[in-house]
Amino acid sequence: MTISLKHEVASKPSIAKSDPLFSRPRFVHNRVLTWLHPIMGAPFSGEHFQNGRKPSGKHNRVRTSKTAAVSWTFRSLLTIIVVCLSSNRGVAAHTLAEPVSDERVFQVTGRLDVTGQLETASPGKAIAHDLKVDATLEYRERRLAGTGRDAEALRSLRHYETTHIKSTVSGQVTSRRLRDSVRLIVAQGERGGISPYSPSGPLRAVELESLQMSGDSLALLGLLPLKPVDVDEEWTCDSWVLQMLTGTEAVLKSELKCRLKSITDDAAKVEYQGTLEGASDGAETKVEVEGHYIYDVVHRHIRHFEMTEKQKKSLGTRPGVDAVAKIVVERILAKTDEPLTDEAVARIPFVPDETQMMLAFNLPWNAQLLHDRSWHLFQQSNQVAVLRLMERGSFIAQCNIVKNRTVAPGTHTPEERFQTDIKEALGEKLKEIASAERVKSDDDIYRYRVQVNGVSGELKMTWIYYLCAAPSGQQIAFVFSVGAEQLERLSNRDQSIIKSVTFLPPKVTPVKAEP
């Protein structure tokens, strides 16, 4: 798909003629031909032959001359009618598009209602939990220049005013909101959904998930036709549209069809439905969608969108899902462009820096780290946190993080003792210690790395251990587990996480003043 063609806007979309003659051009065209045929064919019809013989003389010449004149008249009439009908067919097509260079600011409200079941793993079986999600997102949005083609041509600057997400799983309620410091967001289109980031600093994983809602206002633009369409005309969207619309990581096959249902002087209604098979979070995913949107003919934009999404995702590295989501999005022109002014747009870089695309993870032991978006939190408790590295639905590696014993300030667990602990933990799985070294850094945190090779069952494995110690004596240990064939894909992302670790000041417990 060429996005520049998709969003180029011609003049104000034309409206279908109300005259019945123009409402069914193909039928009328055929009817006119049927009606004219015997008259135009009269000079050569049987009535001018008597017993199979052609008349002769002056009578024949006069009769033939008169008939030829009638024939010429109706041939001319036919030509005029055909031209008119052909012209009308061109006029009847309607352009539904939004300008690719649109600088208008929209006020967007998105609502999500999910009901269904969440499936979690338990030893020997899977457990189903009732699931309900209610979400409301309100923000202002302004288009930015795209960074590529197709989904990557869609990019915008947003300022979030309301982000309320309430999730209920088996009676347990959790609520999430966006921090005030990261309300200014750049939304970058990708095949797997929007990729939001804040120019102010790294988002947290829960904030990222809160902003990645099915039916995102930026993804809606992919539903618009690439060329003018007639009422009842159907078109098939490009393969990336449904993937982006539903936020599916990898797609095996998908199909999304739209149809212009009706159009008036101020609004056009488009219905759509589609199916998708793919994978998200390393698990098989099947999606069905149907709904409609309203295109504002006067102001040239999608102003209302509704979608029902049925999703079935098998249990994998993350919980399985069998749920139905109902999404409603409203888009109206904002009365002012604040705070998405020209000055605000000018401050946004064309490509974000590496830190802006990282996610911040606060550990429960007064420590923080940064990781890229391919790492997903799988489990967390007061004793351990587990991250899993996923790419295009495939599992790459796992990272276990644990609080290590605290030592005297200015010291750390001896390196020999740390290696001994590793040997005891792996037992017969350990085959060799490939390397052991101190990690260089610019801060005062001690970092020590040990890489070992071994086997788990019949699978060749590599384990990479790290010990991080603060000057206060606080310690955290990491172990990255990766199959030998996936070691290259892990690359140096383990070191990126370790070098980002910072220890926070101990939390001070308030002391109640005595009377």
Per-residue confidence band for 108, with pLDDT thresholds at 50, 70 and 90: very high
More confident residue, 101 or 245: 245
Nearest partner of 242 among 210, 186, 195, 290, judged by Cα:
290
In angstroms, the CA 165 to CA 211 distance is 10
Instruction: Kindly give, in sequence order, each residue whose CB lies less than 8 Å from that of residue 143, ignoring residues fewer than 6 positions away.
Output: 100, 101, 102, 103, 104, 155, 156
pLDDT of residue 36: 33
pLDDT per position as a tens digit, 461-502: 999 999 999 999 999 999 999 999 999 999 999 999 999 999
Q: By the 8 A CB rule, do 296 and 266 touch?
A: yes
30 has pLDDT over 70: no
Per-residue confidence band for 50, with pLDDT thresholds at 50, 70 and 90: very low
Q: Is 505 left (phi over 0), alpha (psi -120 to 50) or beta?
A: beta
More confident residue, 265 or 51: 265
239 has pLDDT over 70: yes
* 27-56 mean pLDDT: 36
In angstroms, the CA 319 to CA 126 distance is 10
Per-residue confidence band for 311, with pLDDT thresholds at 50, 70 and 90: very high
Considering all CA atoms of the chain, what is the largest pairwise distance in Å, rounded to the nearest integer? Answer: 136
Per-residue confidence band for 400, with pLDDT thresholds at 50, 70 and 90: very high
- Per the listing, tokens 């003629």 go with 17
pLDDT per position as a tens digit, 142-155: 999 999 999 999 99
* 29-42 mean pLDDT: 35
pLDDT of residue 76: 52
Preceding omega of 339 cis (within 30 degrees of 0): yes
17 has pLDDT over 60: no
Q: Which two tokens stand for residue 316?
A: 């994998």
* 127-155 mean pLDDT: 96
Q: By the 8 A CB rule, do 400 and 380 touch?
A: no
Angle at 256 between CA 252 and CA 262, to 5 degrees: 180
In angstroms, the CA 478 to CA 101 distance is 48
Q: By the 8 A CB rule, do 214 and 247 touch?
A: yes
Q: Is 300 left (phi over 0), alpha (psi -120 to 50) or beta?
A: left
List, edge to edge, every strand of the sheet that includes 375-380: 375-380, 384-391, 394-404, 475-483, 459-469, 446-456, 430-438
SS3 per-residue string spanning 138-163: EEEEEECCCCCCHHHHCEEEEEEEEE
In angstroms, the CA 29 to CA 23 distance is 11
In angstroms, the CA 420 to CA 333 distance is 65
In angstroms, the CA 138 to CA 155 distance is 18
In angstroms, the CA 69 to CA 65 distance is 6
* 350-358 mean pLDDT: 93
- Per the listing, tokens 């994998």 go with 316
pLDDT of residue 513: 56
* 221-229 mean pLDDT: 97
pLDDT per position as a tens digit, 273-309: 999 999 887 789 999 999 999 999 999 999 999 999 9
Nearest partner of 240 among 274, 290, 282, judged by Cα:
274
According to DSSP, residue 471 is labeled T
In angstroms, the CA 59 to CA 241 distance is 72
